[in-house]
Structure 1
């Protein structure tokens, strides 16, 4: 018993720096943000007017709506592409698979300002590909505008797909060859195997990946700011303009928006947990 207690104390001591880190850099700022959102602009009067201002303003509601739509679209597209891409990875040798995963891992970290700048160089109004195709007489980008809704989704999807591949790929390792052989012996086709066995097994991973991508897109700031600046109404850009702007500095209102953003992410994760429980229960 004493030995077990010593081991627990030792493990707790090892976890203590991580616990302090979580409290200091995650829980602490979250509590401060919630507290700050309940103050008026003077920072003294306790009120819920900041939330009332958000829900009464078409501008802020439009930003929330735009963020939700772009997050949903980018998450759906990224998950769909990632399911196909991760399956294609399994068809290569283990050596090539490791290299492809290394590229996906490296690409998943290429986001923010460098990614937006790369897209501007390649597909901007005076981008490399834009001018190249124009000289060749191919007007491929006549109706395409990088600094628009379409360009924003394109950039979001780019950095979401590698992350989705990294999250979904391990699930394919759980699909055993014996299952495919058994399905074939029972007269099942490849399509019936994937619809009846493969996809249900992958479904928890797909749903979990979707919720992560949705939350990742909702909180993305640097990528959108570098690409469209303040020309597009997104929730993350609104928060930054209220907290760090020299013109419309309203940190209390920005904190209220931050609370709503965090609540949306928590709600997405809660929905994901409920869906995964139901899926696992049905699979049993």
Structure 2
């Protein structure tokens, strides 16, 4: 008995069909204006600034400006800016965290919750000259609140000034506290109600729940938000300049004088100070990114 072999058809003889992979460039073309914008207003200025930072005033390659920026003459500006940024980040972070916690609790009228949410979203993006002039009208030497307080404390304007360290710090808190609130609202909303119920069923008090469950879960988000507040205050220029001008030795103000001043004109040194400032901010943002990823793993489980 012989086995019959089926005849070969065209399907068996035909070579395998190689599918052509087509690349869709529509998304890339749609994002092209964004990439052009980022390159023109972010990447190219940063690269130009870094190159300028490693040049002397004559344009020759040199690291003297980078060394001078951290020398004894300008180190105090970095220390003062660091202290102001750290202070407003910690104080603003604490008050912002408490406010965000209050907004996520079901107690309280809903209209008040919506009003505070709207205000924090708006105030977190405020700043600049208009904010400075608003505080001058309120707490300046001839401000409305200053004159009201001087009826009871005549030396108030001598004890407090918007142009010194504490005055600028107070103004910074106006946008630091709402910014912390906006940053912490998603993290606090990620706390599951089942965790509180489980802790309560085991006999834990609310303080124990906050100390042993909520804070360990939230601390990466909290620390990351503190770092963002620090970077936000460190790079602020318009508000501090409108308030203090040259009376406060902050890094952004010194950079402005080095770029546009008639006496302190030194573009290479200004570029070096900007480069050091970018390094500090990049380190802070890098740490925040690591902490945010760790927090998202906890809150997504």
* Residues 1:51 and 2:66 aligned together: yes
1:189 Cα shift? 0.6
Aligned partners of 1:71 and 1:241: how far apart in 2? 20
TM-score (norm 2): 0.86
Select between 117-126 and 274-283 the one with higher mean Cα deviation: 274-283
Q: In the alignment, which residue of structure 2 is the partner of 1:31?
A: 47
1:55 Cα shift? 2.8
**Maintained 8 Å contact 2:141/2:157:** no
Aligned partners of 1:232 and 1:142: how far apart in 2? 17
* Residues 1:40 and 2:46 aligned together: no
Instruction: Label 1:55 to 1:187 Cα distance change in 2 as closer, same or farther (>3 A).
Output: same
1:197 Cα shift? 1.2
Question: 1:85-115 deviations in whole A, cap 9, x for unaligned?
Answer: 0111123455543332111111122211111
Instruction: Label 1:149 to 1:181 Cα distance change in 2 as closer, same or farther (>3 A).
Output: same
Structure 2 residue aligned with 1:72, among 73, 78, 86? 86
Question: 1:43-92 deviations in whole A, cap 9, x for unaligned?
Answer: 2x211111122233x23100011111111111011110011001111234
**Maintained 8 Å contact 1:104/1:165:** yes
- For the pair shown, the structure with the greater C-alpha radius of gyration is 2
Q: In the alignment, which residue of structure 1 is the partner of 2:268?
A: 252
Q: In the alignment, which residue of structure 1 is the partner of 2:23?
A: 5
TM-score (norm 1): 0.90
Q: In the alignment, which residue of structure 2 is the partner of 1:163?
A: 179
Aligned partners of 1:2 and 1:193: how far apart in 2? 58
Within a 5 Å distance, the mapping from 1:135-174 to structure 2 comes to 135-136=151-152, 143-174=159-190
Q: In the alignment, which residue of structure 2 is the partner of 1:108?
A: 124
Structure 1 residue aligned with 2:96, among 82, 86, 90? 82
Aligned partners of 1:206 and 1:54: how far apart in 2? 32
Instruction: Label 1:11 to 1:282 Cα distance change in 2 as closer, same or farther (>3 A).
Output: closer
SS of equivalent to 1:59: coil
1:145 Cα shift? 2.1
Structure 2: state its 5+ residue gaps.
1-18
Structure 1: state its 5+ residue gaps.
none
Instruction: Label 1:202 to 1:95 Cα distance change in 2 as closer, same or farther (>3 A).
Output: farther
Instruction: Label 1:107 to 1:273 Cα distance change in 2 as closer, same or farther (>3 A).
Output: closer
Q: How many corresponding residue pairs?
A: 280
**Maintained 8 Å contact 1:38/1:48:** yes
Within a 5 Å distance, the mapping from 1:232-247 to structure 2 comes to 232-247=248-263
RMSD of aligned C-alpha atoms?
2.3
SS of equivalent to 2:74: helix
Structure 2 residue aligned with 1:175, among 177, 191, 201? 191
